[in-house]
Structure 1
C-alpha cells in the first residue's frame, strides 16, 4: 500500500470536519504521460460510504486517474481534492516497498496506528486516575473546570475504545494472522525481504497492509489480481463494511456486481465519464436500455428521412403536371397552372429544408452486436461428429498425455495455475506448434477461430484497414464494411499504424479478424483480456450462441461461474474434470 501524496500542483488535502462530508474529488483533470494525452478535463466525485467501480478499456486512463487522485502524477490542468480525516490508501497494480523492507516492517507500518491509539488510551487512563484523590473518593470536590476537563478525557477515552474495538485492536495479532492467511502469505517468513517476493506476493502484501491499516479513503487498482476465490470473497465482505470513499478500477465482473454502489465508465482522452447507479447488473441493464433507445432513434430518423424524400419527390412531380385546359378557358388554365407551380415550389422548399435538418442531425447507425456468421457456402459445412481430436499430447513438461475431443455444441472452460501450459495446449490444437509426442486430428477443411492471449501485430506498421484487408485477403471496401460492422473501429482509425494502437485496440483488431473468419471451431485464450466490460459481455453472448465446439482458457471468475458444469483443469500436465 502507498499513501496518497500532496505536493503536485492542483492536488490538495483537506481535513473533513464532518465525516459525513468526506469525499475524493477530481475536477476537470487534464493529465498527459509523455506526449500522450490520457485524461482530458475528467471530473469524478466519490463520497463517504460510496464504493465506485471504475471501468473502461485498457489505455483509457483508469490507472492514470487513480494515480492523479493519489497525488503521484502532476496535473496539467484541473484540481484533485482529498477531503478526509486521515490518509488515503492507494493500491497500484505494481506496488513497491521501501528499500530494505521486510514483511514484518510492512506489517508494523500497517498497524502503527493501533499502537498510537493504545498509547493514547493509556495516557487517558492515567489522567482519569489522577482525577481521584488518594482516599479513593471521586472528584466532587474539584472545581467546574476540573470536572469539564475530566469529562473531555472520559469522552475521548470512550471514543478511542470504540474505534480500537471496531477495528479489531483487541484481537490485533489474530487479525494479522487471518489477513496473511487469507491472502496466501501466512506461511512466509515475516523477516523475508519484500524484494525477494514474487509480483503476486507483493501485490497481496500491499493489499494486506491496506486492509490492516484501514485508511480514511481507498484507491484500488485491480485489487483482485493475484487473488484466489477465497481471498476475493473475503475482500468483498471487508469492502461491504468499509465506510470511507472508495474508488475501485477493475475488470472483475463478480467484484463489481457484489462490492460496488455505482459504476463509472471512463474514456479519459475524450473527457468522458458516464456514471451508472447501482452495481454491475444495473449498469448492464442501463446500457441495454440506452442501446435500445439508440436503435429506436435510428429507425425513427431513417423513417423521417425516407418520408421527407418522398414528399420532395412528390412536390417536384406535382409542379410539372396539372389538369388540362377545359372549354378553351386559357385564362383559368394559366392561373391554375401558376398556382400549382407556386404550391409545388413551396412544398419543395419545405421538404428540402426538412431534409437539410435531418441530414444535419444524422443519427448514426448503432453497431451490430457481436455474432458469428455461418460459413459462406454449403461446401464449407462440416459433419456433425468430432471436428478435432487430440491423443496423447506431450509438450515439454507442461502438457503430459492430454486427450481431448471437440464436437459441435461442446463448450469447455479450461482453468489452471499460471504456467500450467494452457496457452501452449491451445497453440498446439490451433496447429501453430508441433507437439513433442501425440497427434492432433482435424476434419479436412476445418476452419479454426483462434484468439491468442498476446497480439501478433505489435510490429505491424501498416494502417488498421490495410492490415485487416491483407489478413482477410479482401478488397479494401469489403474490409472496411467488416471492420466497422460491430463498432470495433471507426473510419477515423483506418490509417492509424497498428504498432501505435493501445493494447485494447490491438485486442479489438484480433477480435475483428476472429469474427470475419467465420470459424467452425473456437480456441479462445483469455478472451476478455484488455476489452471493455461491454465488449466482454457481447463476446460472451456470441460464444454461447456459437453452434460449433468451443475451448476457452480463462481466469475470469464470472465465466467460470457461468460454465461451472463445463470446467476442465490443466494440472500436472493433464486435463481433468473440475468439480463445480
Structure 2
C-alpha cells in the first residue's frame, strides 16, 4: 500500500449545485504527489467550493471523487470561538508526524526481537517517516513559525485572542509542518508580507505531496504552479505556468476575432447573393447583359441551369443558417482605455487644491496651473493630510508611470484621493494639468445604489456622445448583471462596473488604488496590457507582488 504522500486525488464529471445554479458541472481532475495545481477563475466560479469538495467537507451532487485519507485545507475564514491555545494547535499539527515516528520505533523493535513478519511494516513506516520529515520536525516547525512571522506568539495564548492575520499565518504554518498528502490552500498569501510570501513559495516548491492553490497572487502561482485549472474554461487542467495559460488565452481570443470577422464577411456575401433584387446566385454572367444568343442557349438548357441555380441558392441558405446559428461567437473587444485629450494645453480647467494650512509666502511665487512646467501632469508642494499623509513633494510628467508603495496606513489611498480632488489637503498645494482625472477606488461603494450598470454606463456614453447601447464592449460584466441594480451585485461585480466607467472616461490622469482587488487574474492581465498601450499618466497604489515586480516606471515609497 503506497504512503499517503504518494496517493493521488481524482475527480470525474464532478457536479455541485446551489439551488438552480451549477457552480461546478462535469469537472475532471487528476493530481498526484509533486504536482502543484494553480486554481483560477472569476469570482464565484467555484474555486472555494472545489477546495471544500477536495477536503471532504462537502459532498458533490454528482460524479465520482477519489481522495487520499490525509488532507489539509487552509480556508479564508477561521472560527473566532476556537477554544484551543496556540500550543495546542501546534501540538496537533505534529501529532501525525509523532505517530509515524512511534510506528517506526515499534516496527524496528519487533525486527530486533526476531519478528520477520515486521519487515514489511518497518519498510512502510520508514518510507512514511522519511516523507513526513520525522527527524527534523521540530526544526521545521521553528523555521516555519519564524518564516511566517508568528514565532513570538505565546503558546498559552488563546486562538480567539489572535488577530485574523496572526491566526491565518499560524494555521498555514501548522499545515505546512503537518505535510498532508493533499494540501489545499485558499488565498494563502492573504495577510502575508513579502518575506512571509517568499517563505511560503520556497516551502511549496519542495512540498512532497500534491498541492492545489486558489489565489489572486499571480507571482505565487507563476512560481510554484506546474499546471493550471481555469474554472472559466470547459477543458481540463493544462500544464505550464499561469503566464503560459494567459498567453494561450490571448492567442485564442485573437484567433477567435479573426474567425468572427471572416464569418461576418461571408454572412454579408451570402445575404447579398440571396437578395431578391438581383442576387448574385441568380446571375448567369454577373456584370454583363444577356445577348439574344445567350437567351437562346439558356432556353435550350433551361432545366439544367435552373437546377444549378436552385442548388446554389439552397447551399447558400444552408451555409447562412449554419453561420447564424452556430458560427463563431463575437469575442469581447480587448480592454483599452479611451484616449484622453491629445493636446492638454488646449483643454481648460486644470485643477489646483490648496490646503488651508499652507503658507502662500513659502510656496513658489506663481499661482495656479501656470506653475506647472510644460510636460508636467501633476505637482505637489509640501502636501499633507493630518494624521493620514506626511508632507510630500512630488512631480510626475505627462505620460509618466508612478507606483506608490508602503505599509498599511502610510497614506497611499489618501494620496490618490488628494490627486483626484475629493480630499482636501491640510497643507500644501496640489496642481493637476488639464485633461481630467479618473479614479478606480479601493473601496468602490455603490452598495445602496439602485441604478443598473446599463443605466450608469449608458448615461456616461451619452455625455461623451458615444453609442448609449454599446455600454460594455469589453465584456467586463456578464450580460445578466448589466440590468441588475448595483446594490444587488457582489463587490467584485461592482468593481468591474466602476472599471468600465473609468475605461471610457477619457481622462489624461488615471489613478488606480489596489487595482488587483476583487478582479480575476484574467482581467488583471488585460488591465496591465491596456495600460502598456495607453499614452496618459498613471499613478498606481498596490501591494500586489506581481504588479510591483513587473513595474517599469518610477516608484514612490511612503
Q: TM-score, normalised by structure 2?
A: 0.85
- Residue 292 of structure 2 corresponds to 325
- 1:119-139 per-position Cα deviation (integer Å, ceiling 9, x unaligned): 3344345434544xxxxxxxx
Paired residue secondary structure (1:449): strand
- Residue 88 of structure 1 corresponds to 71
Paired residue secondary structure (2:140): helix
Q: Is the 8 A contact 1:482 1:516 kept in 2?
A: no
- 1:134-178 per-position Cα deviation (integer Å, ceiling 9, x unaligned): xxxxxxxxxxxx5x23xx25x544554554355443333322211
- Residue 62 of structure 2 corresponds to 78
1:365 aligns with 2:330: yes
Paired residue secondary structure (1:480): coil
- Residue 411 of structure 2 corresponds to 421
In 1, the alpha carbon distance for the partners of 2:269 and 2:125 equals 74
Q: CA RMSD in A?
A: 3.1
- Residue 288 of structure 1 corresponds to 250
- Residue 253 of structure 1 corresponds to 218
Q: 1:397-408 residue pairs with structure 2 within 5 A?
A: 397-408=387-398
- Greater Cα offset, 303-312 or 282-291: 303-312
In 1, the alpha carbon distance for the partners of 2:302 and 2:20 equals 68
Q: Is the 8 A contact 1:276 1:286 kept in 2?
A: no
Change (3 A) 1:238 1:26: farther
- Residue 135 of structure 1 corresponds to none
- Residue 355 of structure 2 corresponds to none
- 1:181-225 per-position Cα deviation (integer Å, ceiling 9, x unaligned): 000011222221111111111110000000111011111101111
Which of the residues 98, 110, 115 maps onto 2:93? 110
Which runs of 5 or more structure 2 residues have no equivalent in the other structure? 351-372
In 2, the alpha carbon distance for the partners of 1:161 and 1:480 equals 68
Change (3 A) 1:332 1:534: closer
- Residue 402 of structure 2 corresponds to 412
Q: Is the 8 A contact 1:55 1:533 kept in 2?
A: yes
- Residue 22 of structure 1 corresponds to 8
Change (3 A) 1:159 1:276: closer
- Residue 188 of structure 2 corresponds to 223
1:17 to partner: Cα distance: 7.9
1:175 aligns with 2:161: no
Change (3 A) 1:97 1:332: closer
1:508 aligns with 2:496: yes
- Residue 468 of structure 2 corresponds to 479
- Residue 6 of structure 1 corresponds to none
- Residue 314 of structure 1 corresponds to 280
Paired residue secondary structure (2:470): helix
- 1:2-40 per-position Cα deviation (integer Å, ceiling 9, x unaligned): xxxxxxxxxxxxx978865521436432232x7765334
- 1:90-112 per-position Cα deviation (integer Å, ceiling 9, x unaligned): 00012337732111111101111
Q: Is the 8 A contact 2:5 2:181 kept in 1?
A: no
- Residue 477 of structure 2 corresponds to 489
In 2, the alpha carbon distance for the partners of 1:105 and 1:260 equals 32
1:525 to partner: Cα distance: 0.5
In 2, the alpha carbon distance for the partners of 1:354 and 1:438 equals 69
Q: 1:344-363 residue pairs with structure 2 within 5 A?
A: 344-363=309-328
Paired residue secondary structure (1:387): strand
In 1, the alpha carbon distance for the partners of 2:4 and 2:143 equals 32
Paired residue secondary structure (2:439): strand
- Residue 436 of structure 2 corresponds to 447
1:69 to partner: Cα distance: 2.5
Q: 1:379-398 residue pairs with structure 2 within 5 A?
A: 379-380=346-347, 384-398=374-388
- Greater Cα offset, 378-387 or 273-282: 378-387
Change (3 A) 1:29 1:335: same
Change (3 A) 1:332 1:319: closer
- Residue 436 of structure 1 corresponds to 426
Q: TM-score, normalised by structure 1?
A: 0.82
Paired residue secondary structure (2:223): helix
Change (3 A) 1:420 1:80: farther
Q: Is the 8 A contact 1:322 1:340 kept in 2?
A: no
Q: Is the 8 A contact 1:449 1:521 kept in 2?
A: yes
1:299 to partner: Cα distance: 2.9
In 1, the alpha carbon distance for the partners of 2:440 and 2:464 equals 23
- 1:335-375 per-position Cα deviation (integer Å, ceiling 9, x unaligned): 57787666545443433333223222332332221122323
- Residue 53 of structure 1 corresponds to 38
- Residue 517 of structure 2 corresponds to 529
Which runs of 5 or more structure 1 residues have no equivalent in the other structure? 1-14, 132-145, 571-580
1:505 to partner: Cα distance: 2.0
In 2, the alpha carbon distance for the partners of 1:216 and 1:332 equals 83
1:207 aligns with 2:155: no
Paired residue secondary structure (2:14): strand
- 1:257-299 per-position Cα deviation (integer Å, ceiling 9, x unaligned): 11111101114xxx94553221112212321331232123223
Change (3 A) 1:27 1:244: farther
Paired residue secondary structure (2:445): coil
Paired residue secondary structure (2:435): coil
Change (3 A) 1:390 1:18: closer
Q: 1:103-142 residue pairs with structure 2 within 5 A?
A: 103-131=86-114
Q: Is the 8 A contact 2:215 2:221 kept in 1?
A: yes
